Amino acid sequence: MKETEQLKIRPLSIESIPLVNDANDPFPIIGRIVPQFSGTTWSYTEELYETATETHFPDDRLDWSTYIDHKDRIVLLAFSGTSCIGQIRLVRDWNRFAYIENIAVKQSFRKLGVGHQLLAAATKWAQQRELIGLSLEAQDDNLMACRFYAREGFVLGGVDSLKQSSNPHIDLTLYWYKLF
- CB atoms closer than 10 angstroms to residue 169: 9
The dihedrals phi and psi of 108, each to the nearest 5 degrees, come to -70, -10
Q: What is the pTM of this model?
A: 0.93
Q: Which of 48-52, 129-133, 166-170 has the lowest mean pLDDT?
A: 166-170
CB proximity list for 34: less than 8 A, separation 6 or greater: 44, 45, 46, 47, 140
Predicted confidence (pLDDT) per residue in 47-95, tens digit: 999 999 999 999 999 999 999 999 999 999 999 999 999 999 999 999 9
Band of pLDDT at residue 41, cut at 50, 70 and 90: very high
